[in-house]
Chain A
Amino acid sequence: MRWSWFAGHVDEMAELTLQHVITTVISVGCGLLIAFPLAVLAHRVPRLRGLILGVTSVIFTVPSIALFILLLPFTGLSLTTTVIGLTLYSLVVLVRNIVEGLAAVPPRVREAARAMGYGRARTLIAIELPLALPVIMAGVRIATIMTISLTSVALVIGQGALGQLFADGLQRNFAEPIIAGIALTLLLAVVADAVLVGVQRGLTPWTRR
């Protein structure tokens, strides 16, 4: 182990970690923006539920390398390609968990909201979504960790953030970058999960007492 390699590449590793974070945040963020309306639709229109969940599952079965290459003709070797791919993957977890979360709201609570004079939109925002939060956040945590690990795969299109360290190490038969890449990816996953747990606790004070 050449420790001097790590010392000499701190800036590069910081840069790649930041890229990794940005890619993950944008992908999961876009995933949430798309998943919400889809999940609400699936929740409100039971007939569409199977279709929506089915399509997101089918997307997930496309191998990640293949998906990135499929997108190449449209968006090229860009961050956009990576984000589109990762966003599509995140949907399978996000949509499913939001739908599950909404479905788990006790019917009695929904009925009470209606009887108090809550309209449908208000019921969704003020009652159903907050109560679905623990399940939704569980989905966000899984989607985030999954995205962190999948981001590296985007190295096939010249992206991949920390994944580039694996490519570098492999091509040069050189262990240090690979070890650094694995360690940083793991660290990132652990930190991201801890942050999300904190966010969830902050958003759901009623589950703590």
Chain B
Amino acid sequence: MIRFEAVTKVYPGGTTAVDALDLEMHEGETTVLVGSSGCGKTTTLRMINRMIEASSGTITVDGRDVATLNENTLRRGIGYVIQQSGLFPHKTVLDNVTTVPRLLGWDKKRTRARAEELMEIVGLPQEMATRFPHQLSGGQQQRVGVARALAADPPILLMDEPFGAVDPVVRTLLQDELLRLQKELRKTIVFVTHDIDEAVRLGDRIAVFRQGGRLVQYSTPAELLAHPADDFVAEFLGAQRGLRLLSLGSLKEVPALPVTTVARDAPAETVAATAAAAGIRWMVAVEADGRPHAWVDAEGNSLPVATVRDGGTLLDALEAVVSSPRGHVVRVDAEGRVAGVSSERDVLRAAAAHRSAVIGDDGQEVAT
């Protein structure tokens, strides 16, 4: 556990970056520090491994005051990931990843074995070990950055806008992988971002900072979205606060209905026979591997399908409903195969239920 007690940071020149901060970051949780630039979130993060020294107050990690520890020893025990990865350009991926184990004096065999393990954990092919950072894509570099931070298996991971410099598609992918990793590793993660969606996605708890280093709200994502502490937080969360709340709901809350499928290349008679047998008009035509192709009927009409992956969020489901001409969304499993359908009505009902469950009233508060 990381605990801030009355921590203040005043920079030479008089700027107060962090103002009398009291904050507890729980073990095994991801705490996201969020706020606009200059709000003190990065300063807060960096005071944990003493990249920046606090002006006053105490920061303890597992009960030990960080100010009393040797700073290099402290840092070797805390993983650190920064934007654009901060990899050493003159070292190979392997040497980058094994930076901390080598500093800690691990023997060659153990270091080597750990490196292989890490490459696998972050999803990098082993043959990349001998490349230099500039030979990798931005997303790959960021994976190496994460592997390097995890190398000596530190209980704490500090991440300073780690995905800020990669494109949105890769960012979502990296966020997914971080969630997967965290499920397995249960590190105490402190994550800085200015992207509220990223905060809601990754955080077990979110700390919202405002200019002058003031902590304005510290709560779970659902609580934050449902009950912003004041107008500043509400404004920061944005107009789509209600929709963001749905991103915390799971598709599991929506009932799945069975659906009739036909092979995409099935002859018209087969389609008609299947429709007659099931007593319905619309069916989902599927590819040979089970992926949905389109809604079809016996008269040869066809409509595009909107899919949502099992394990997706209520927001994904709502988005699919809105973009589906049939009003039904097709649910697919992890491999993309048709797993069922959900009706527009069921999705909306689940959304409303989720919202009122989180907000704890009739939903008036976020009816923006």
Residues in A lying within 8 Å of B, measured CB to CB: 106, 108-109, 111-119, 127, 130-131, 204-206, 209
Determine the residue in chain A with the shortest Cβ distance to B86.
A112
Pick the contact of A206 from B73, B100, B132 — CB < 8 Å?
A: B132
Contacts of B83 in A (CB 8 A): 108
Interface size class, chain B: 20 to 34
Contact B89 A206 (CB under 8 A): yes
Chain B nearest CB: distance from A35 CB in Å? 21
Among A106, A112, A116, A131, the residue within 8 A (CB) of B76 is: A116
Partner of A108, one of B51, B84, B99, B132: B84
CB neighbours of A131 from chain B (8 A):
89-90
- Contact string, B43-75, partner A, CB cutoff 8 A, digits 1/0? 000000101000000000000000000011111
**A124→B266 CA distance, assembly (Å):** 69
* CB contact under 8 A between A127 and B49, given known A116-B103, A117-B103: no
Q: Which residues of A contact B86 (CB under 8 A)?
A: 108-109, 111-112, 115
Q: Please name the 5 residue pairs, one residue from A and one from B, whose CB atoms are nearest each other, closest first.
A: A112-B86, A117-B76, A115-B80, A117-B75, A117-B72
Residues on B lying within 8 angstroms of A by beta carbon are 49, 51, 71-76, 80, 82-84, 86-91, 99-100, 103, 131-132, 134-135, 148, 158
The closest CB in chain A to the CB of B130 belongs to A209
Chain A residue contacts of B158, Cβ below 8 A: 115
Q: What are 22 contact pairs spanning A and B, CB under 8 A?
A: A106-B89, A111-B82, A112-B82, A112-B87, A114-B75, A115-B49, A115-B51, A115-B80, A115-B86, A115-B158, A116-B103, A116-B148, A117-B72, A117-B75, A117-B76, A118-B72, A119-B72, A130-B90, A131-B89, A206-B89, A206-B134, A209-B131
Considering residues B73, B74, B82, B86, which has the most beta carbons from chain A within 10 angstroms of its beta carbon? B86
Question: What residues on B are CB-neighbors of A116 within 8 Å?
Answer: 75-76, 80, 99-100, 103, 148
A117 and B74 CA atoms in complex are apart in Å by 8
Residues of A within 8 A of B132 (CB): 205-206, 209
B75–A127 CB distance below 8 A: no
Minimum C-beta distance from B103 to chain A (A): 6
Question: A109 to B100, alpha carbons, bound, how many Å?
Answer: 15
A112 touching B88 in the complex, CB below 8 Å, given contacts A117-B103, A118-B103, A206-B134: yes
B residues near A115, Cβ cutoff 8 Å:
49, 51, 75, 80, 82, 86, 158
